[in-house]
Structure formats: structure tokens, C-alpha cells
Structure 1
Amino acid sequence: MHSYAFYNGHLSETERRLQALDNPQTASKAPAYLYPTAGHTPDTPVAEDRAKSAEETQDLSRLREDLAIELTSPMGSVAYPKNLTWTNYIDYIFCPTLCYELEYPRTKGIVWSELGYKILAVFGVIFLLTITSEEFILPVMIESALRLETVDSFSETALILAEAISMLLFPFMVTFLLVFLVIFEYVLGAFAEITCFADRHFYSDWWNSTDWLEFSREWNIPVHNFFRRHVYSASRPHIGRPMATFITFFISAIGHEIVMACITKKIRGYGFLCQMSQLPIVMLQRTKWVKDKKVLNNACFWCSMILGLSMMCSLYVLC
């Protein structure tokens, strides 16, 4: 809803500027603002070059053209305000993306065998998640919770927590991988098949990440595109790149904390602190002494991922 409202608000302002050029004496001659792409359609460097040229020459005809291009989808089939229909909005709601566009690339039709396979896979992975939780996670959590009720000293509490975390290292890692698989490969893939959504790039090779910034870009591309478009790109011209990165991480950390609060019905801040701590870790990993050691950085990434998941989930449930 946020993306739909903001993008159409931008298009409304663009249309107003285009109409205002009928009276050139009072109209703004600023170059057309190109809304950041969401990654579903190719970038338009030609339009960007024209925007720069418009800034230099203040050529009204070129400015008109740039504004008109911004009001039209890259594929040329839809233009503002023709997109303001219930059909267009409902289509956006069901497409597996968070970023609204006038038009999305489409496939020729639904491949029913692929859709059936993905639906069956969803239930299969949910079955595996249930088995993993009931056999390897719940017994440890229940036993640890009962033991924590009988101890008073900090050392005994820390020992029980450490034992629970160590026993849940791989169960929580397996759970994370299964949740990732069911969401980004099967659920989003099924919705993409139903809506004939052609952009199936929901994730990249995040398992090869060498730092947390790279991981945040690659493991959840729909959310990354949303934050890049509506938070980072919107704030960077005003506060600069470092602060825009910080604000993006800050809002993302709050979002993750809200998700954990909904799951565990507790507000503890563990997830928020863990995510915000990624920024200084990234700064350390990008120093000249560590930057080129990709194997070491990837190994550190996986160690922190395995330990961090178990520690954070255990703390949320047990504390």
C-alpha cells in the first residue's frame, strides 16, 4: 500500500508539472525526477542522460518528453492515470513484489505443472518444519524452560541457556533454511505463476555472502528492493549515503523486531540489537586487512549465522 500510494503520488506530481509547462513562464524548469527502479524492468539510462541534459539546457521540449516518459511504463502499455483502477491495484496486491510499478513483465501463461509442483512442495516443506520443531526444538525448549524455573543464580541460568543454544544450533539453522525455501522458492513462485509474473528473482546466492550487507541485499530481494527504493533512495539525497544506510538498517531492524514480537509475543530487542550490530561488523570486514579474504569472511558469516539464529531464538523463547 505504501509503495502504491507513494509511486502514484510521484506520478501525480509529474503529471501536474507536465501540464504546468503549458505556461512556460511560471512552470518549474527542474529536470524530471526519475523514480528509483524496483528492478522488475530495465533501467532507462537514456532518460537519465536526458534529465541531466535538461538540467543543463533547460530545454522545454526535452523536459516535456522526460516527464511524459516518466508517466509511461517502460514497456509502453500503461500510462498514468489509466493505471488507477481496481483491476490494476488487485493485480499489484497478488503479484509477488512489494514495489508498485505501472506494469510488470509477464509470462505467456500459467504452467499448471509448475504451479502444482510448487503447491505440493509448500505442504511438503511445512511437514518437514513440523517434524523439525516437534522432534528437535520443542523438547529442548520445554526442558530448558522447566530448568530455568528452578534456578536462581546467574551462572546456572547462563549455563542452561548456553546448553540450550548449543543443542539448537543446527535445528534452528535447518528451520531457517526450510522457511527460506518455502517462502522464496515455493510460495512466491506459486504466486508468480498464478499472476504470470515474469520476474522470479526473489533471492540471489546469499550463501556466498562475505558480509552482512551483502546478505541483506541478496537473501530477500523483494524487501531489499522496497527499502532501496522507498527508504535508501528517498533519504540519500537529503542526508547522504552513510546516514541513509543507517536509517535503512534501523527501519529494517525495527521491522524484524516487530515480526519477532508477533511470533513470540515478547518485545525484547534482541533481534534489533543483532541487526544493528551488523553495521560495525561490516565496517570491520571491509577494512584493508580483511576485505580480500573472502573465504574467511564467508566462514565467519556462516558461523555467526548459525550461532546467532540459535542464540536469538533461544533468548526470545526462554528469557
Structure 2
Amino acid sequence: MEHDNYNDDTKPNSKKFISFKHRESLLTQLLATDPNLRMIHDLIALFIFVFLLYKIEVFINEPTKFWEIFDGYMRNSSDLGQVIQIWFIMKMFVLCLHYPLVLFNNFFQYRWLINNFENNNYNSDILCEMYENRQYAGCLYQIILYTMYSCISIFAILFYCTYCILVYDIKLIGSFSLLIEMTRLLMKSHSFFIEKKDLFIEKETLKNLMVNKQHTNMYRSFWALSSRASFRKYIYYMFAPTLLYRDSYPRTKKIRWGRVLNFGLQFILFILLAMYVYQGYLVNLTKTCTESIELNLKLLYQIITPGIIFYWLFFYVFFHLYLNLTAELLRFGDRNFYEDFWNSKSAKVYYRKWNHVVQNWLYVYVFIPVDNRFQNRILTNFAVILISALMHEYIVTIVYLLEKYGLVKNLVSIKLIVTNWSILLAILIIEYNYRTSCPLSEPWKQIILPRFIHHVKI
């Protein structure tokens, strides 16, 4: 997995290239340069540590409270073995199907070059020009290639994951983690397929290969090509904190174990806090199916306060701690995972800064292709919104459309944090509880109709 010799050269005529370079995440830079912010960060971590110690003392004195929470988590993680099995099988599908498909296509292109040169059908200049214009395969072959790729993505990952969640009745936490992993694998495999399905060989290298007859053993010469799909590089990419495939990335010289320990301890600390807040949040919103929830100021407080805590915990634990921890262990140099989204004055800017990992993928594989094809910025923006909504949530699309017509101008971050995130999270928990506690007699209603609207009184 060594990619120390990082090459940032772009492909010819490529408008979709996003460069990677050595840079730290924004919070890492701020904490290193601003002692006041670092003091606030340390005080918050100390406060959480003391709070968790206090809760441990409470659990020791009142074991029933601990076992009540423990039983709740055990019920939600009782299918951990099935979750790991499904995750492993999805990973094997990607490694054993997507990679061989790309490698076979690379070999097909290389064999076409060698065979046409040996048969003297074309001189080297014409052959190189045909290869650069990708005239080695007809329309039928391209259709077959993309059909095979689509079938692998749809049936081996998307349908398989969805089917297992429904059939095995995976609990809330397991279902969420599997769906996140399914989306990640689909996006990663798509980037790998697009970037590596064509075997790029420079014109001079191609001429030298033909003239010097370095292709006597076709299989050995193909395997020696640096531009073919490499399994070692593919494995590194599958675990790297990015959704854009490159043959090489900027790498740090060594793993800084002090940072690993720092990120790891913080990760455990904040995960424990998130688990406690989640349990309290769930208890406050959990009712039996014979009870209704009255919408009042107390309920709004119970919804909004934990929702805000969840929002910042999710950002800090995932985007800062987890991604930086993964990057440090893999010596991944580019850690620009987010920007100062908390200072955004519009929803458009907010979502661009909130998650660079996903936004870069949307820009490269949705925005650029649609814009180049239709030359219509409205249609392009709509395509990005649609894909993002399918990947995340419908409410994201509403925010973009409201801003388009001037209805969202100020306090965008506060609005998104306090209302959208908190209320959506509360609705999901309430809906999940009612669906699992009191299913409807008609199966089609159980699938289609939302349940929370029948149990919330205004």
C-alpha cells in the first residue's frame, strides 16, 4: 500500500480532476494555532470525562439503571453477527466482481493494441490515434460492459443489502450502519470503474512498446504495465477516507502514533457520550402503541436539545475524529474533509462545506457529466440535488429549493441544526418505535403509510 511517490498529473483533457495535496483538517489547524480554542476544546473533553465518571458512579450505586440501558443496547445489537456477515459479503462482491471486470477490460484494450499491431492493419501513428479516441470497441461491447457493471452494483450490493435488512429484520443501529456502508461501496466502486476502466498509455510509451516488441509475452507485458488496475492500490483506496479513486495519494512519511492515541481516546469518549444521549433521547420519545405524544414546549425541548448535541457529536466523531484517525493509520495526506460550514450564509454554501468527501464525488460524477452533456446549469443543479436527496434525505432538497426562491437567507446553520436535524431525528425514532411496537394488520399500510402522524397531537 505504499504510495509515497505521489503523482498529481492530470489526464489529458480532463475537466473533472480534483487534486490531492498535503493538508490538515480545519479543526486540527485551528487547535494547533489558536490556544483559546484549544483550551475550550480541552475543557469540553474534561467536562465529558467527569460527566461519564459521575454516570459510572450512579450505575454502581443503582445497577438497575445500568442494566436497563445495557438491555436496550443489547436488543439493538443482537444481530451484530449478521451485520458483520452482510458487510463482509458486500465487500467481497466489490473485490471479486468489480475489480476483475475492470482488469479484464484493461486486458481487452491491451490485446486489441497488440493484435492490430502484429497483424499490420495500421501503422503505429494511426493505431495510437485510434486507441486514444477509444475506437477499439464498438457500441455493443460498451453496452455489455456497462450492463455488467450496473448489474454488479445493483444486485450484488444495493439489492443484496436491502434484501438482507428486510429478511433478517436487522435492528435500527445495524440497518443504519449497513446502509451507510452500502452507499460508500457503491460510490467507491463507481469511481474506480470510471477512472480505471480505460487503460491509459502515453503515446510515446505505446510506440516504444510496439517498436521494441516488448509484448512478446502478452500476459507478462500487460501485468508489467503501471497503468493497469492494481489490486494493491484498489485495496488501499477501499479503506482510504476519500470517494475519488487515484493511483496514488499524498502520503505522510510515518504514522504519528501520538495522534492515533489522541484521536482514538477522544473517539471512545465521545462515542460513550453519544450512546448515553441516544438512550435518554430514545426513552423520552418512546411510548407504547396505545399512547399518543402531545406536541408541547416540553417535547420540543426534549427533541431540540439532544438533536443539537447529536448533530455536533456526529460531525466531530465522524468527520473529525474517525476520518482523521483512518487517515493517520493509512498515512493519507489530504485531510480536507470539511470547511467552516458553521459560518455559512446560504444553504448552498453550507452543504458544500459540510462534507467535502461526498461533495467532491457529486461534483466529479454527477455535476460535470450532466453539465457537459446538456449544457444546462438548472438541469445540472437539479441532478445533483436529486442524487443527493436519494443518498441523504428529502429535506435537503427542500432547503435548496427554498434558497433558490429567496426564502432562506439568514441563520441557515441555526435553522438546519435546530429544526431540520433535530425534528427529523425525532420523527425517525418515533416512527421506528411505533412500527416495531404495533405493526398494522394490512402489510401495504405498514410499508407505505407513516405512523407518527397518528400518534402526535398538536
Fold shared, TM-score > 0.5 on shorter chain: yes
TM band (smaller chain): 0.5 to 0.7
Post-superposition offset of 1:224: 0.9
- Residue 54 (structure 1) aligns with: none
Asked if the contact 1:208/1:298 (under 8 Å) is kept, the reply is: no
Which of 78, 84, 90 is residue 230 of structure 2 equivalent to?
84
Residue 349 of structure 2 corresponds to residue 224 of structure 1: no
Residue 304 of structure 2 corresponds to residue 169 of structure 1: yes
Which of 340, 346, 353 is residue 205 of structure 1 equivalent to?
340
Asked if the contact 2:389/2:397 (under 8 Å) is kept, the reply is: yes
Asked if the contact 1:107/1:198 (under 8 Å) is kept, the reply is: yes
Stretches of structure 2 lacking an aligned partner (at least 5 in a row): 1-93, 117-122, 135-201, 208-224, 431-451, 453-458
Deviation per residue, 1:52-80 (Å, 9 max, x gap):
xxxxxxxxxxx948x99xxxxxxxxx941
Find the aligned partners of 2:127 and 2:233 in 1 and give their Cα distance.
37
Post-superposition offset of 1:186: 1.0
CA RMSD of aligned residues (A): 3.7
- Residue 267 (structure 1) aligns with: none
Which of 364, 380, 400 is residue 279 of structure 1 equivalent to?
400
C-alpha distance 237-64 of structure 1, shift in aligned 2 (>3 A):
same
- 2:290 counterpart letter in structure 1: E
- Residue 149 (structure 1) aligns with: 290
Which of 266, 278, 284 is residue 140 of structure 1 equivalent to?
284
**Which TM-score applies when normalising by structure 1?**
0.64
C-alpha distance 27-316 of structure 1, shift in aligned 2 (>3 A):
same
C-alpha distance 92-25 of structure 1, shift in aligned 2 (>3 A):
closer
Find the aligned partners of 1:26 and 1:139 in 2 and give their Cα distance.
67
Find the aligned partners of 1:26 and 1:208 in 2 and give their Cα distance.
51
Residue 243 of structure 2 corresponds to residue 243 of structure 1: no
- Residue 129 (structure 1) aligns with: 274
Find the aligned partners of 1:104 and 1:248 in 2 and give their Cα distance.
26
C-alpha distance 230-161 of structure 1, shift in aligned 2 (>3 A):
farther
- Residue 24 (structure 1) aligns with: 126
C-alpha distance 27-209 of structure 1, shift in aligned 2 (>3 A):
same
Find the aligned partners of 1:28 and 1:162 in 2 and give their Cα distance.
70
- 1:182 counterpart letter in structure 2: V
Find the aligned partners of 2:333 and 2:347 in 1 and give their Cα distance.
28
Which of 311, 324, 334 is residue 189 of structure 1 equivalent to?
324
Find the aligned partners of 1:237 and 1:275 in 2 and give their Cα distance.
25
- Residue 312 (structure 1) aligns with: 424
**Quick one: higher RCO (CA 8 Å, sep 6+), 1 or 2?**
2
Q: Secondary structure at the match of 1:199?
A: coil
- Residue 35 (structure 1) aligns with: none
Post-superposition offset of 1:226: 1.1
- Residue 75 (structure 1) aligns with: none
Asked if the contact 2:341/2:350 (under 8 Å) is kept, the reply is: yes
C-alpha distance 117-25 of structure 1, shift in aligned 2 (>3 A):
closer
Post-superposition offset of 1:235: 1.7
Post-superposition offset of 1:301: 3.4
Find the aligned partners of 2:429 and 2:401 in 1 and give their Cα distance.
27
Deviation per residue, 1:16-71 (Å, 9 max, x gap):
7xx69934389459889xxxxxxxxxxxxxxxxxxxxxxxxxxxxxx948x99xxx
Structure 1 stretches (4+) deviating beyond 4 angstroms? 28-32
Find the aligned partners of 1:300 and 1:191 in 2 and give their Cα distance.
31
Question: How many residues of Structure 1 are paired with residues of Structure 2 in the alignment?
Answer: 242
- Residue 79 (structure 2) aligns with: none
Asked if the contact 2:403/2:409 (under 8 Å) is kept, the reply is: no
- Residue 111 (structure 1) aligns with: 256
Q: Percent identity?
A: 22
- 1:191 counterpart letter in structure 2: T
Find the aligned partners of 1:235 and 1:90 in 2 and give their Cα distance.
29
Stretches of structure 1 lacking an aligned partner (at least 5 in a row): 33-62, 69-77, 152-156, 257-270, 291-295
C-alpha distance 26-95 of structure 1, shift in aligned 2 (>3 A):
closer
Post-superposition offset of 1:225: 1.0
C-alpha distance 298-204 of structure 1, shift in aligned 2 (>3 A):
farther
Deviation per residue, 1:220-241 (Å, 9 max, x gap):
1111111111111122111322
C-alpha distance 112-301 of structure 1, shift in aligned 2 (>3 A):
closer
Asked if the contact 2:240/2:330 (under 8 Å) is kept, the reply is: yes
